[in-house]
Structure 1
Amino acid sequence: MNGKSEIRQRDINHGAGNGKIPNGHKDEDEDNKKDNESNKTPSKIDQIQDTCTTCCIPCLTSHNPLPEYPSRIQRLGHAFMLPLHGNVATYLQFTVVCVQLWIIIYSLTHGQALPGGNLFSLLILFIGCAIGGYLISLIRLPPLLGMLIVGVLLRNIPGVNTVGESIDSKWKIALTVILTRAGLGLDIVKLRKLSWAVLRLAFLPCTCEIITVGIASHFILGFPWIWSLMLGCILGALSPAVTVPSLVNLQDRQYGVEKGIPTMLLAAGGLDNVLCVTGFSVFMGIIFSEGDLAVTIVKGPLGVFVGIIYGFVAGIFLWYIPSKDSVSNDY
């Protein structure tokens, strides 16, 4: 036994001299380290994490899945579990965004963000229209109908109509927003192939609509012919407000994209609107004209021509500047 002990001690000393430990002793050291780690008392941070996890388990969806056939009460309770999900998370996100938007507006404008201010009324209108559109969509109706109802209520109900009356009438951006949204949804390749169809679809239905409304309002409502045709232009200009959001939605869902149907209708809707606005301006100028009638009539088409030239020049400028080959680090 003494001989074996001496040999073992000599091996240990030899391994220590070479900076190495025999395998048997290395395994023993590793086992001792593991035992020390297992016996080590958890830190305060670990204890806090464990406590929080234990307390939050009843509120976590990962530990409380829904049964196979849940009741309404079980679904309602599960909707408020963490992390928030589904409609509850959507509602909370919308609320936070609206509050942040109001805070930003108030920090920049102060008085305009308070009740009675222009921007505050626009924010209330936006929130109300979003809620109205969502509620009306629950009964399978277009969200635009709910938005229109909210707009009518905010403008005509006593006590609430201050919201509609506080909006500055100079903010005529509805047409700009609609046409910009329609333009961003166009496919240039499909538009080139369907250019002739776009022109026919833009002018023929719009012209028929203006004439039909003009005749009906003249004989049914007793309007003069000029006023009747101007009413037709007004109603015709409202069509893109209905068609553009629906077409963009269909395009996002890839309906008719291969044949270019959304692009054709979006482009036709934009030209339709231009024709109606031009006609309205011409008829308005004829009714309230105090100068030369010919100059008043020419102003409408001239404005369209100038707009086309401006758009053409601006498009060329943005196409070539900056160049496609330019790098952001170049000077």
Structure 2
Amino acid sequence: MAKSLAIILLLGLLANKLFEKLKLPGLLGMIILGIIIGPYGFNLIGKDILNSSADLRKIALIIILLRAGLGLNKEDLKRVGKPALKMSCIPGLIEGFFIAFASVKFLGFSFIQGGILGFIIAAVSPAVVVPAMLKLMENNMGTNKGIPTLILAGASIDDVFAITIFSGFLGLYSGSHMNIGIQLLNIPVSILLGILVGAIIGFILVKIFNKYNIQDAKKVLLILGLAILITELENLLKTKIAIASLLGVMTIGFIIIEKMPKIGERLAGKFNEIWVFAEILLFVLVGAEVNVKVALNAGKIGIIVLLIGLLGRSIGVVISLLNTDLNWKEKIFCIIAYIPKATVQAAMGAVPLSLGVESGDIILAVAVLSILVTAPLGAIGIKISAKYLLNK
């Protein structure tokens, strides 16, 4: 594992720098590097690190979500509350069903198979979106209307809807007596439980930090350890009750920055430093999950299905932003920011195939294709369009 880690870090730093020199997002270089050195490329990464890939990617995602929580502002959250809730569900729901119907038409799927594919693809990638929004917040781009906060909040809940409905369609396919209506009712409970668990841990940490003199580095380790345990709690209870653990992780950061602003700012700086390492691991390992040959099997029809889905997502964003103070340029930016797919598709694309779902190979191919098409498109789109569409 040590040799593989060295290869990932050294080449990852190089790829990041090279793409930034080309005025492209560094994460794009790291994803491409992962494809090249991964098991479907030159196979330079050992199996030991690939076997731990899911856990390493999850820890990296937790780090950036904690940093995001430490960057949230209560006033901004109040301002974007209702639009953020709409952004968390409407775009994903419309995209998922657009893809489901398109799959029936173009891929010959049943509606249930189409629903499985639709809600794998419908999840926006917090791994791509969150770092981009944090950079905008640091540069005061769009912050006058809370646009980065709006997208941060919406993207963190979006996955909860997509994964829940995907599970419902998977249950229908397997013949289990699973009611999608009940599944949907569980979503608000999941969100509230995630926020509650995160808030409890956040308040406990605030009390500890007020009572004991702990070094900032140790505070970071304590926060990170408890945040990882929240995600493990979700896995432990998933058969009984769902918890939106990633939302809970963000809530920890939010409580700390609200109750202890000075300490919160220092901790945000520490998480920024850790993110330099975690970012390379996350995006190189996401790239390593991508099998280009499988993606090519989806062909032109796969791209058509994806584009139909993105059309549905764009319509959903526009609907979500009705009656807000955003102008047409800012709404277009929100549409672009909601394009990227990566983490959920890499993690769940192969699940239907492993469970024996008919056409599971096609579902995997389209999921992989969605990463190859939308991650670069979204990352480049966010970076370039922010300059022209958002106010500084």
TM-score (norm 2): 0.46
Matched, 1:245 2:142: no
Q: How does 1:264-275 map to 2 (within 5 A)?
A: 264-275=150-161
Higher helix residue share = 2
Q: Residues 158 and 246 of structure 1: is their aligned pair in 2 closer, same or farther, counting only changes over 3 Å?
A: closer
Displacement of 1:198 in angstroms is 0.9
Q: Is 1:147 aligned to 2:30, yes or no?
A: yes
Per the alignment, residue 292 of structure 1 pairs with 177
1:193 corresponds to which residue? 79
Cα root mean square deviation, aligned: 3.3
1:209 to 79, 95, 99: 95
The residue matched to 2:72 in structure 1 has which SS? coil
Q: Does the C-alpha gap of structure 1 residues 198 and 169 become closer, same or farther in structure 2, counting only changes over 3 Å?
A: same
CA contact (8 A) 1:182 1:267 kept: no
Matched to 2:31, the amino acid is L
The aligned counterpart of 2:145 is: 259
Indicate how the Cα distance of structure 1 residues 216 and 145 shifts in structure 2: closer, same or farther if over 3 A, else same.
farther
Number of the residue aligned with 2:202: 318
Deviations 1:277-324 (A, max 9, x none): 2222222233335x4334x87467547624632531441453366549
Task: Show the 5 A alignment for 1:1-331.
Answer: 112-113=1-2, 115=3, 121-122=4-5, 124-157=7-40, 159-160=42-43, 162-163=45-46, 166-168=49-51, 171-172=54-55, 174=57, 176-177=61-62, 179-289=65-175, 291-294=176-179, 298=182, 302=186, 305-306=189-190, 308-316=192-200, 318-319=202-203, 322-323=206-207, 326-328=210-212
What is the rounded CA distance, in whole Å, between the counterparts of 1:216 and 1:328 in structure 2? 58
CA distances 1:119-158 after superposition (whole Å, capped 9, x unpaired):
xx35533443332232222222222221221121222455
In structure 2, C-alpha distance between the alignment counterparts of 1:258 and 1:131, rounded to whole Å = 35
Structure 2, unmatched stretches of 5+, are 214-392
Q: Which amino acid aligns with 1:141?
A: L
Q: In the comparison of the two structures, how many residue pairs are matched? A: 210
Task: List per-residue Cα deviations over 1:46-76 (Å, max 9, x = no partner).
Answer: xxxxxxxxxxxxxxxxxxxxxxxxxxxxxxx
* Counterpart for residue 376 of structure 2: none
307-316 or 212-221: bigger deviation = 307-316
Distance 1:184 1:325 in 2: 15
* 8 A Cα contact 1:278 1:304, kept in partner: no
Instruction: Note closer, same or farther for the CA distance 1:292–1:257 as it changes in structure 2 (3 Å cut).
Output: same
Structure 1: 5+ residue runs without aligned partners? 1-111, 116-120
Measure how far apart 1:165 and its partner are: 7.4
Q: CA deviation at 1:197?
A: 1.2
Q: Distance in 2 between matches of 1:270 and 1:278?
A: 14
Q: Output the CA distance in 1 between the equivalents of 2:183 and 2:178.
A: 10
3-state SS, counterpart of residue 51 of structure 2: coil
Q: Distance in 2 between matches of 1:163 and 1:271?
A: 34
Change (3 A) 1:129 1:216: farther
